Structure 1
Amino acid sequence: MSLYIAALNSGSNGNCYYVGNEHEAVLIDVGISCREVERRMARSGLQMSKVKAIFISHEHSDHISGLAVLCRKYKLPVYITPGTMLHGRLMLDCVVNFTEHEPVSIGSLTVTAFSKLHDAADPYSFIVANDDITIGVFTDLGAVCSNLTRYFKLCHAAFLEANYDEQMLDNGRYPYFLKRRIRGGKGHLSNAQALQLFIEHRPAFMTHLLLAHLSKDNNSPELALELFNQHAGDVHITVASRYVETAVYRINGNKATANNALQPMQMALAL
């Protein structure tokens, strides 16, 4: 069984990640409008009818801004904690709580949440698994913690935050308090921190790494990609854009197809 993954948007202007098989899928966060989710999925050959649930990592607007409209229109259950509901001031029709480290079954998919270091009320990251294939969605990370390393080691592919370059942040226009918040242990992960995690803890079977949640002002896709490609080996590295959806990647654990991204028409035929 293969899993298909795509970032519909990734950055401080909105986050939304798709993971699914031939029959069902989930969205992790909905930080772009319902209309944009629909447009980007359609361009990628992905079908909303396959999306069976939404999982929310935390209450910041770039992760929930399109949630209410999307879940109401498609009558989708939203897996979210009470703390995130409260601090996000959300009014949703179908809410399901989840518990850390306890897998949730969505058809043949299983989604497992784990707590992370971020300046939100009750923040979580997720892995999505089907049979022997596991995908990680790891963004908004203040630091690399034991939970993150534990689940990163399971992943055949992952969305991993590489938010800022330390020198660009130091020399940039952000005020001191914001720089301190970003690198203060509950903000975001730097290129160097993400790279260290990748070098030290990537499993031998990892085929794809999608660098996620890059800062518009304190990073550049070219810089992050060049840095990681120096250490990639046979892992395919790409950057998830803050402006447009990524290609759809088919993850099957086979290194021989590590660089294959499905084009929209191929995706529609495959699914």
Structure 2
Amino acid sequence: MDTGKPERPGLRERKKQETRAALSWAAIRLVVERGLDAVRVEDIAAEVGVSPRTFNNYFSSKGEAIAARHLDRARRIAEELRARPESEPLWEAILNAVQTQFSPADMPADMSGGAAGGTRVDASGDMSGGAGDEVTGGRRAPDRRWIAGVQLMISEPSLQGEMFKANAAAEAELAAAIAERTGTDAVRDLYPRLVSGAVGAAVGLVMERWLRADPPVPFGPILRDALGQLAAGLPVPGRGETAGPRA
């Protein structure tokens, strides 16, 4: 009987997904800690306990391995959006779907520490959380060393090319889920691609603001504010007001 829910992958497929995710995590962590040029494919493979040949079965380069987190997160957001109740308004469903993939609760136990002072990436791949985070006002602010490493990593031209490709694929994944939910066509209709592009742009802007914030601020509140403004139709701020936290 068709329940309308995606089938759970088999054990073999789950193992492959876990290996892919572990390699991507290792690539991100090592590159943030050491720099892109100082990390070899062999280092990433050794971190996960597999051979370089196994790495090459999943990724063609270090940049592709790093960008894979962004694409995988987009796929999970699309899956979560499809699983949201049909009675839930679209923008509310999108907000909830996106937030589930940036939740600190999604942190895998084996990623809770690292060589660079125990910093870490959150399980959505947004690199916004760390075991060495500072606690400010009851909320965690990211470790400055981790932020500096992320800034250096994403400035690499070779990685930017991979992220551009991942962004395009990510928008297509989300647009397909939006089209299904709204009864539109992701190819012929503007609406699903407009919404998907707006959400992708918002998440990218939030990441940029988070990286530049001084002093460091938690990622979650900025994300919720940005998506909330989109859901409200981007109302024009009144004079003297700010549209969300400033970097």
TM-score, normalised to structure 1, is 0.28
Higher strand share: 1
Larger radius of gyration: 2
Higher helix share: 2
TM-score, normalised to structure 2, is 0.30
